[in-house]
Structure 1
Amino acid sequence: MREACESGTDCHNGGAPCGNGVEYYLNAVRAGLADQSSAPACLLRLQLLQPVPGTEQSLTPIRPSSALAMLVRPIEEEIHQRQAIAQGLQRALDPIETLYNAQQRPTTDLVMLTGLPAINAAIDDATERCTSELLTAQPGGSRSVTVLTEALQRSRDLLARGVRLRTLYQHTVRHNPATMEYVHQVTDAGARAQVRTLDELFERLIIFDREVAFIPARSDRQSALEVRNQALITFLVDVYEHAWQRATPLAPRGRSREEPSVVPSIRRTICQLLISGYVDEAIARRLGMSVRTCRSHIAKIAEQLGSTNRAQLGYLLATSDLLGEPDTTVPE
């Protein structure tokens, strides 16, 4: 049997057998025989002409599909052999892969969580595992009654296990009855729960036992990043602690100490944002208040400074002392 056409061999020319190969092949088909001494080499390489048993020089033409089958068979056999080798390697390495995975940490340092069900499931799992401390930053002002009810039960469960809770809100929650009721119930439950407020707060942040943290991955909060990298967690805790030191405590009910007014701080921040060129809607969003409340504060500031329009207000703010020391007060 003639050898199959090897890679790079000129077995065909432009998709057809070489030279007069087609004509020779068709004549052989009509005659039923061909002479080996005159047969074109390309027909032999393509196995279109096969030796006649019992003769030395006679060849017989065969169907092209049969020739193709003979040419492809060794290629298929080689493929099967290589597949068998690949499967053998996989069987050999699979047990080692299992041992390798067993030595690795169960999770990576950074995990992207997409969708609220996945986010809530991860946070619930971290809550169950929390044993000593939970740090939370909740920007955006007041929260819904449903969210607060669920949060209250989780907080009580954590406090019952001896976990310390610290929560940062924005000053505007002080004027929201539902949020204040939640705060009072949590702080009344034990001294391990503390709540403070700031005029402006960074994005939402939850840190469990300084071992795992959750931060938003997008502004719509439909995805989150689960952080277990200790360098990043140390940085996030440091950011949180700096904000905590600047925040104003929100005392539980029944304590004699009266909390200082947060209105001057809010209005000072509004002044700073106005000078920076923020519009009312953006200021309200950053401070967690309604646009109406924001504009009410701006009106009070303008009234104090004697401003009649925004351009004049910007000039008066820049030349006044309202952006100076933190204890500067703005009358209500």
Structure 2
Amino acid sequence: MAQNLTGSVGRGGKNRSADIKRVQELLNTVPRSKGGPSPLLETDGRKGGRNWIRTYDQISLFQFANFGWQDGRVDPGGKSFRKLVDYEQGAASNSERTGQAANLSGSVGNQGQNRRDDVRRVQRILNAVPRRAGGPRQRLAEDGATAGNNWNATILAIAEFQSKQLNFRDGRIDVNGRTWGKLSPYEPDQERPAAPPAPPPAPPAPRRNTSPPMTDDGRVQAWIDRAYREMGSMGGTDQMRKNQFAWGYLITERKKSHAATQDIYLAAAEHYLYARFESSTGILGSGMMIIGVGLYDLVKATPGMLEVYNWYLRKQGERPASRPTWLSTKWGAQGLADGTADYMRGAFS
């Protein structure tokens, strides 16, 4: 029988340390698409601090994704607790039923929880991956240490495996994540012969690239799609909040130097999400929104204003802004239209 709580956790709860830790562990077993956290929560059982705020918010997101309502609290034996236990037991029984490897107890790698047993296990599995499938260049020591040259080599090996298998690299393996799904089949099994991993796909035959170059609008849309993909863990969150968080994501991206060559496309995408978020709230009328969207570019419309604006951004630790373009004006207008449609569909209800 699953361990129950001794008191409620979350808004207005008793929030005892052992109960907070139990809820954090349960939330970490929930898939992202069902309101699970990404990245995983620290299972520290502490009330207060950034991780507690994330835990507090994640309870509401989980409830909204699964029940369509939220009160931000998990009660002993209550509906939210029983649903969390279902996810915990479902993950365990699925592993036993399918013969899949048991999951990690926490994330491993760059900014992960990095528990010693999990690190040692990941090192062991990586050593079993053939080099042609993304295995490490040199065999890793299976020591579970999280400092020193071997730890650095472990993070690099995770990133290279991701690059080969998934075409991205962040150097971290999350519980129930895509990287773990690709890596776990390689785990050596002493009790039964492991199913051989699928061979890597054959390289495509050389051919001339006849695909048309990506259009300016296509580059802007790619940034917008990327921002919304980052919201995959938001579950059933309303569209207005998704617009808000996606806009915030692009603001963060603008601060990164690697976005320098794509400034005009990133700026247009950021302008679109700003306009869509603001208009989806329904707080401002369409006339005020048109003025607001215009000011978003007007502040940068002259060399003098742009110089002052860039001085302000540098003072805040941000990269200078790009000049306004027809792309940002066009996509800002589109954001107005889409945000208004969001509001009409009840995005702020």
- TM-score band by shorter chain is under 0.3
TM-score normalized by the length of structure 1: 0.25
TM-score normalized by the length of structure 2: 0.24
Q: Which structure: greater strand fraction?
A: 1
Q: Which structure: greater helix fraction?
A: 2
Which has the higher Rg, Structure 1 or Structure 2? 1
